[in-house]
Structure 1
Amino acid sequence: MNTPTMLRALAADHRQRLMRLPRQVSFPEGTRLFDEGARADRFWIIRTGSVELDTYVPGRRTAAIETLGHDELVGWSWLFAPRVWHLGATATTLVRAYEFDATAVRSMCQDDPALGRAVTQWVGEVLAHRLRSARTRLLDLYAPFGAGSAV
Structure 2
Amino acid sequence: MSTLTAADLAREPFLRGMRSADLGRLATAAHVVEIPAGRRIIAESESAERFWLVQAGAVALDLRMPDRGTVVVETFGPGSVLGWSWLFRPYRWRFGAVAISDLTAIEFDGRLIRTLCAVDPALGYELTRRFTELVIERLQAAQIRLLEMSYPEPAPQP
TM-score between the two structures when normalised by the length of structure 2: 0.84
Instruction: Please show how residues 107-146 of structure 1 align to structure 2 within 5 Å.
Output: 107-143=115-151
Q: Which amino acid aligns with 2:113?
A: V
**Which digits, 9 at most, give the CA deviation of each residue in 1:9-58, with x for residues without a partner?**
63444233312321111111000001111110111111111111000110
Task: Say if 2:108 is the partner of 1:100.
Answer: yes
Q: Distance in 2 between matches of 1:129 and 1:15?
A: 24
CA contact (8 A) 1:6 1:15 kept: no
* Structure 2: segments with no counterpart, 5+ residues: 1-12
CA contact (8 A) 1:10 1:119 kept: no
* Structure 1: segments with no counterpart, 5+ residues: 147-151
Moved more, 24-33 or 12-21: 12-21
3-state DSSP of counterpart to 2:113: helix
Larger radius of gyration: 2
CA RMSD of aligned residues (A): 1.8
- The 1:70–1:12 alpha-carbon spacing in structure 2 relative to 1, beyond 3 Å, is farther
Equivalent position of 2:14 in the other structure: 6
Q: Which amino acid aligns with 2:15?
A: L
Q: Distance in 2 between matches of 1:138 and 1:51?
A: 19
Q: Distance in 1 between matches of 2:61 and 2:27?
A: 24
3-state DSSP of counterpart to 2:65: coil
TM-score between the two structures when normalised by the length of structure 1: 0.87
Equivalent position of 2:10 in the other structure: none
**Which digits, 9 at most, give the CA deviation of each residue in 1:102-133, with x for residues without a partner?**
11000001111100000000010000000000
Moved more, 61-70 or 7-16: 7-16
Offset of residue 63 of structure 1: 1.1
Q: Which amino acid aligns with 1:77?
A: S
Moved more, 130-139 or 12-21: 12-21
State the structure with bigger RCO (CA 8 A, min sep 6), 1 or 2: 1
Q: Which amino acid aligns with 2:23?
A: R
Q: Which amino acid aligns with 2:36?
A: P
Moved more, 68-77 or 131-140: 68-77
